[in-house]
Amino acid sequence: MTTPDLKALRRDVEALGDEPKLKEEMLRELDVLERHLREMPPPTPPSWGARIYAALRRMLKSEVRAVPVDVDPLAEAEVYVSYGRIDQAIEILEQAHRAHPERQDIVQKLRELRLRVR
């Protein structure tokens, strides 16, 4: 919450030259408001949780995109195998073999999985 600009409000009230009763009443109200504002404790800074939550909200709203991470195709295939999705594991390894034909570990794992499917 922002603090009202009391000086500007006071100037606006002072400009009410032809309404003396209204001007007097409003100046009294401004005095009361100023007193209350002086007596209020200063705002506490937001907690760490609130700061993190606000930062996450800003990140989700922004156009920030995740940086692609290189995942080892063998590790990715193992995840599929662990869930019984051997066909998808083979597909991942075939793509990896086309990209990296020199990797014998990929060839070996492909052979192993193809034998399992038969």
Query: How does pLDDT run across 19-47, given as a tens digit for each residue?
Result: 778 778 888 888 888 887 778 776 666 67
Answer with the residue of higher pLDDT: 29 or 89: 89
Residues 83 and 108 grouped into a single domain: yes
Domain ranges, residue 112: 73-117
Residues 84 and 45 grouped into a single domain: no
Answer with the residue of higher pLDDT: 103 or 1: 103
Number of domains in the chain: 2
pLDDT in the model for residue 95: 92
Kindly state the average pLDDT of the residues 14-21. 76
Residues 55 and 80 grouped into a single domain: no
Place of tokens 């009391």: 6
CA pair distance 25, 104, nearest whole angstrom? 89
Write down the pTM of the prediction: 0.43
Question: Kindly report the CA angle at 40 between 34 and 46, in degrees rounded to 5?
Answer: 130
Residues 54 and 25 grouped into a single domain: yes
